């Protein structure tokens, strides 16, 4: 599945380079109209990142998220600063299909297991932001500022018992850089975890990148800056990689 993404700050569509708020590009787009456009072009799921909520959960753009969910013809996946059970519960009550949980589950595995068990694996996407250390994908937290002592393998093993299904993997070095995804990393992960929906995120900049991911049997990929800058259209992408 190809998943168009919108990053949101104060109701505006933006993109950051490697998660840096000081390297921000603002796009003159209405997020509600953009969501409708992606749905009309064939999107089966849309990924929203609430960057205000990521900075401060008290600033979560709940009104905008509710408006986007209500106006979207297709389901919404959203994340950004999810800290608690109540945060997940609130977003699901707005009609969000899947909530993306990262640092909170990594720091508090009991919370992650509880979310998967109580809301079900289809309602939770585990987000793992990685940095390769001696070719091992280590997980970063706190908006990529801190490197944990856990690898992707450790965390997937930890949550598999609760039925983990969707795992969003972002290579920090690639995100927002438009230099191509880390195909070798994703090939390793898809071969190791064929039962999981590993979602590639970061660096996809061309249709050739999509062909390379499709060739390694990637199940899903997030498309952000590539669509916003017109590198290719969603229709072109879906012609190569139809939604399953």
Of 219, 152, 210, the residue nearest 183 (C-alpha): 210
171 in active site: no
Which tokens in the block code for residue 16?
């950051």
Which tokens in the block code for residue 40?
């009309």
Q: Kindly tell me the number of DSSP H helices and DSSP E strands found in the chain.
A: 11, 12
- Cα separation, 129 vs 167, whole angstroms: 10
Upper half-sphere CA count for residue 214 (Cβ side, 13 Å): 16
The distance from CA 72 to its chain's CA centroid, rounded to whole angstroms, is 18
200-233 b/e with 16+ CB inside 10 Å = b?
bbbbbbebebbebbeeeebbbbbbbbbbbeebbe
- Cα separation, 231 vs 51, whole angstroms: 24
Cβ 207 vs Cβ 236: under 8 Å: yes
Residue 228 phi/psi, 5° resolution? -65, -35
Of 35, 19, 23, the residue nearest 227 (C-alpha): 35
7 in active site: yes
Which of these is catalytic: 7, 52, 171, 197? 7
Which of these is catalytic: 50, 87, 129, 197? 129
Q: Which residues are catalytic?
A: 7, 129
């Amino acid at each position: 599945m190809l998943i168009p993404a919108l990053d949101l700050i104060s109701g505006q569509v933006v993109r950051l380079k490697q998660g840096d708020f000081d390297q921000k590009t603002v796009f003159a787009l209405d997020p509600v109209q953009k969501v409708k456009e992606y749905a009309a072009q064939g999107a089966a799921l849309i990924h929203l990142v609430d960057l205000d909520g990521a900075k401060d959960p008290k600033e979560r753009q709940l009104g905008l998220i509710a408006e986007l969910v209500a106006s979207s013809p297709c389901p919404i996946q959203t994340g950004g600063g999810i800290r608690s059970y109540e945060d997940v519960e609130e977003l699901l009550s707005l009609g969000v299909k899947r909530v993306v949980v990262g640092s909170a589950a990594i720091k508090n595995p009991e919370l992650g297991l509880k979310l998967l068990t109580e809301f079900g694996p289809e309602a939770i996407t585990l987000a793992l932001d990685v940095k390769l250390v001696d070719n091992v994908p280590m997980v970063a937290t706190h908006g990529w500022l801190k490197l944990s002592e856990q690898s992707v393998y450790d965390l997937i093993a930890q949550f598999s018992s609760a039925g983990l299904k969707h795992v969003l993997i972002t290579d920090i070095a690639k995100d927002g850089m438009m230099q191509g995804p880390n195909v070798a990393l994703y090939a390793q992960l898809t071969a190791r975890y064929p039962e999981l929906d590993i979602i590639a995120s970061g660096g996809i900049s061309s249709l050739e990148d999509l062909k390379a991911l499709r060739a390694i049997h990637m199940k899903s990929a997030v498309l952000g800056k590539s669509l916003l800058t017109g590198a290719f259209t969603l229709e072109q992408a879906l012609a190569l990689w139809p939604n399953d």
